[in-house]
Structure 1
């Protein structure tokens, strides 16, 4: 995804602020919504959770590093600042959540039902703010940013699946990898762009991305849900045969 964002920026000759924002999105870890989409798409949910966790932990170092390397030619990138913000936004909440779940389970049970709507509202506010701040500029040149984001996520979903199947990975896991590659933690991109890039337009590709990958992921999940992956079909056949033998 970082390389896809870089090449799309070059292909479309994006302005520096949009290019930096697109590359920042590509360098973000996988989005947590991918786990739900994987479940709906009859993918490998365990693999999805593992990939999201691994990319999230790696993002503390890799997001600032890759953004500085790939976007540094477009705008000045504060790699140290990005590292500290990524640490605060990504790793600390995970550690805090694990701590609370371990030692304050009764409290977690009370607040857990409230968290999904709060999370959705927070995402809406952050992305809406990023777009509202640059509404006039988006109306003038926003189509280019939208096209760039669409190409980025399309390449992620497409190559994630095709390369997985080429390597001989089963259909269920290939669907999972496609979803994990195609769906990014765009909200992290919005936060980092707002805090560390002077031009508010840098956050626009991140905000657009949050809508784009959700639509694409949901559409894929709806299509894939209609067909059971071959591995799952084989498992169902084995279970039916075992039941027939017992009877």
Structure 2
């Protein structure tokens, strides 16, 4: 177990670089991962089962304890990212299956990587986890609903297939994971300690499949605009998530403080791209190009999230802004009363 944990720690540290290298391997040697094409839904189920085993009833109680912030953050995610995707498709004149792929990743719940970024930036990790949990639990309903409303102009959306696939790979594994944790308690700790490594390997396998099946289409005129669109999608998500949280701070300053604003920023801008790729491969099996935006997003948002978290933390350290700051402003130094000091010396 300790060897797997060490491997998991190493993989976490270098995950973005490993993803890039692994993608390159599958681009030049697609047979490396083609064997796994029919198993991507099981790989993602393993990831979310592991997520479920790390959850307890307290995680669900937290949603009840701070319902306003969790619900508002979830609504912001499912409102901002899908509409941004549609807007970017219009601006960049994306069409067909490429546009469907961009909108699909925009309709996905928030990614688990956002929890790490929130932690690194000294954000409210508990709020981050709660929003991520609620948005993920709602995914079987929200993804088909949003895709039907926003992407049906490009192609007929297999709503039932999307719903059943999301139910199979998201809701059922999480419920099973929570059930196992509830029944076995601390006895699952030996398994949960190795789940990060297992989850990351599963995500790598999904990425490998997407690159392999799109080997001939990954860098063509049809897909040339996907990477800049994905980058703008993610960065605009951060920006609008931050502006939204600042607006909510003006309305309800007690609940949307500086740490909560960081959490909402990451929760809005980061997507569960592994789910997007899996849904694309299952529901749009005849058009695997739909999965390319999710794969690009998976690589890019880990890079951008790490950079943003580092910049945020560095900014706070430079200006002495504490993690529990009310509004994120620099502390105001109190003026020294020179006269009083002089009188005391006299």
TM-score, normalised to structure 2's length?
0.65
Equivalence for 1:108? 188
C-alpha displacement at 1:54, in angstroms? Answer: 1.3
C-alpha displacement at 1:173, in angstroms? Answer: 1.2
For residue 104 of structure 1, give the secondary structure of its aligned residue in structure 2.
Answer: helix
How many residues are matched?
234
Equivalence for 2:225? 144
Worse-matched range after superposition: 61-70 or 220-229: 220-229
Distance 1:191 1:61 in 2: 16
Equivalence for 1:243? none
Distance 2:109 2:146 in 1: 12
Residue pair 1:29, 1:56 contacting (<8 A) in 2 also: yes
Distance 2:227 2:294 in 1: 10
Distance 1:39 1:114 in 2: 20
C-alpha displacement at 1:136, in angstroms? Answer: 2.2
Q: Which structure has the larger Rg over C-alpha atoms?
A: 2
Of 228, 245, 248, 1:167 maps to 248
For residue 220 of structure 2, give the secondary structure of its aligned residue in structure 1.
Answer: helix
Of 10, 15, 23, 2:95 maps to 15
Of 164, 168, 174, 1:88 maps to 168
C-alpha displacement at 1:159, in angstroms? Answer: 0.5
Task: Give the number of the structure whose residues are more often helix, by fraction.
Answer: 1
Distance 1:173 1:107 in 2: 33
Distance 1:70 1:34 in 2: 25
Distance 1:97 1:231 in 2: 32
Equivalence for 1:61? 141
Any residues of structure 2 matched to 1:190-229 within 5 Å, and which? Answer: 190-197=277-284, 198-226=286-314, 227=316, 229=321
Residue pair 1:128, 1:207 contacting (<8 A) in 2 also: no
Of 263, 270, 276, 1:189 maps to 276
Distance 1:220 1:143 in 2: 26
* Deviations 1:127-182 (CA, angstroms, capped at 9, x unpaired): 12102211221222333110111111111101000221133232221111110001
1:33 equivalent in alignment to 2:121: no
TM-score, normalised to structure 1's length?
0.90
* Deviations 1:2-31 (CA, angstroms, capped at 9, x unpaired): 100011011111131111011110110011
Of 113, 116, 119, 2:199 maps to 119
Residue pair 2:141, 2:163 contacting (<8 A) in 1 also: yes
Distance 1:163 1:106 in 2: 39
Give structure 2 stretches of 5+ with no counterpart.
1-80, 250-255, 327-346
Residue pair 1:30, 1:184 contacting (<8 A) in 2 also: yes
Distance 1:67 1:156 in 2: 18
C-alpha displacement at 1:231, in angstroms? Answer: 6.1
